[in-house]
Amino acid sequence: MESHILHEITPLGEHDFMYVADRHKQECAFPIHCHELYELNFVEGGAGSRRVVGDSSEVTGEYDLVLITSADLEHVWEQHECQNHDIHEITIQFKLDFESETSPFETNPFRSIKRMLTRAKHGLAFPMPAIMTIYPRITHLAEITEGFLAVQEFFRILYELSKFDDARELASSSFAKVHMDSDSRRVLKVKNYISQHFNDDLRLEQLSSMVGMTPSAFSRFFKQRTGKNLSEFIVDIRLGNAARKLVDTTDSISEICYDCGFNTLSNFNRLFRSRKGCNPTEFREKYHKTKVIV
């Protein structure tokens, strides 16, 4: 199938590490896109704009800061209801191997940064205290002309941001194609099973027996470990896969509904709208309209 996502060509050369763009613009007009490089994007004065990262869609406030460390995760900032005509945007695109077993990120000083970069495969939105903490640094970064000092300042920004555990993951794991992890083997076993069998009729009794627990005990255990009810987690996985199919295939809405484990089209539409802020048709059109390959 023809892709409708813009694949951005970034300006970094083979031996370059990062690219910093500090610009003022009148509107958010760039189409939805993805790119090989990782990205930290800061927006000031964009209240009312809509940020789309994967299957997450949110209207932003005056300040917004998002880190993305997936080459395949589509994203865009749209004008939406923003009335300001002087939007300040600083975009940092960078290369970084944080998953190699021999990388410095396996050592203790980099642990918090690696954890943050790993979470950012979903897209990671930072709270206002984090934005205000790094505001002087990120606005100063574009003025640094010495390469080593610029990289040093950038790593300081990453380190400061890594202290904020309340940064929010945006795209769902199933949409972003991110491998799920957990500090509990029992939870991880059930998560992986749900991820592979999301279109089946999944029952609490069946899932709890997989890990040798009673349904009520496992239900409480799962909520304590993940912050979500088991039923909510299953719906999120199904909706993430449905959103991915809406972008990547030409399957009808009803086909996607039943392929992803939903029993009725009305229930699918209701849940999709409540979680994504729009119905499945609108979600598909949002990705397909004015999107081209370059």
State yes or no: pLDDT of 91 exceeds 80.
Answer: yes
Q: pLDDT tens-digit profile of 211-240?
A: 999 999 999 999 888 888 999 999 999 999
State the pTM of this model. Answer: 0.79
The CATH 2.60.120.10 portion of the chain extends over 6-169
Superfamily of domain 6-169: Jelly Rolls (2.60.120.10)
Sheet containing strand 50-53, strands side by side:
6-7, 33-34, 75-78, 50-53, 56-59
The pLDDT score that the predictor gives to residue 3 is: 43
Q: What is the pLDDT of residues 99-125, one digit of tens each?
A: 887 888 888 899 999 999 999 999 999
Residue-wise DSSP of 211-239: TT--HHHHHHHHHHHHSS-HHHHHHHHHH
User: What CATH number was assigned to the domain covering residues 178-288?
Assistant: 1.10.10.60
185 alpha carbon, distance to own chain's centre? 24
